[in-house]
Amino acid sequence: MGEPKATEEVVSELQQGLEPEENFRLLYERYYARLFSFFRHKQLPPEDCRDLIQKVFISVYRGLGGFRHDSHFETWLLKIALNAYVSEIEHRRAAKRDGVQVAIEEERSEEGARPVSHRLADERADPARELLEREKLEKMREVMSELPEQMRRCVQLRVVKELSYQEIASVMSISINTVKAHLHQSQKVLRKRLGKYFGTLEV
């Protein structure tokens, strides 16, 4: 048996349409464990890791034609994996919000007249606190909308998705120094505009 093919050679042959099944199998076997470890490190259960690995390789298959060899294949692969993870977390959070809302709105009082959410609001809500929370949310949205798009995206990935600087840089295809600069500048803006609502803000 000869030496195993280098990944660059496997990718190049796939892009040329040479031995697609065998070459794709080589990539799958070569990087499966690396991807599994990546997703497990994100605290995902094994079954979810396997599902995401399948999605990643589907994306690789579809996007391989546009892959340029100016970056390492593994770097490109892990960027796809990180995007898949972020999308999965966004999907779960959206589904959780929708599920809670549907459950509340569909459950009715014994009389069947009004949704439980309305009764709870009548019975327990503190109007002053509710108004303050609404004001906080609106102010946050207002200030975030005024940030430059790339800076706003950095803040969202850092605060909402809790990604590291390196992960943000990979998702957005920018340098870590650019990420740090965006977060530093955004922190100054948010502290100045929102400090009285939220106290000390960290990003």
As a whole number, mean pLDDT of residues 88-104 equals 63
Minimum mean pLDDT among 17-26, 112-121, 141-150: which range? 112-121
Comparison of pLDDT for 88 and 134, the residue scoring more: 88
| Residue partners of 52: CB distance under 8 A and separation at least 6 | 35, 39, 44, 81, 84, 85, 88
Tokens of 101: 């809302």
Q: Using alpha carbons, select from 84, 78, 85 the residue that is nearest to residue 42.
A: 85
Q: What number is the average pLDDT over the span 139-145?
A: 81
pLDDT at 146: 87
Position 159 confidence tier, pLDDT thresholds 50, 70, 90? confident
Confidence of residue 60 (pLDDT cuts 50, 70, 90): very high
- How far is residue 59's CA from residue 31's CA, in Å, rounded to a whole number? 14
| Predicted local confidence at residue 106, as pLDDT | 47
- Say yes or no to pLDDT of 6 above 70: yes
Higher-confidence residue of 65 and 196: namely: 65
Dist. CA 42–CA 81, nearest whole Å? 11
Looking at residue 162, its pLDDT comes to 77
- Which domains does the chain carry? 1-125 (1.10.1740.10), 126-196 (1.10.10.10)
DSSP 8-class letter at 64: G
Looking at every residue in the chain, the average pLDDT score rounds to 79
* Of 58-62, 105-109, 133-137, highest mean pLDDT: 58-62
Return the percentage of the chain with pLDDT > 90, whole number: 34
End-to-end CA distance of the chain: 53
How much is the pLDDT for 155? 86
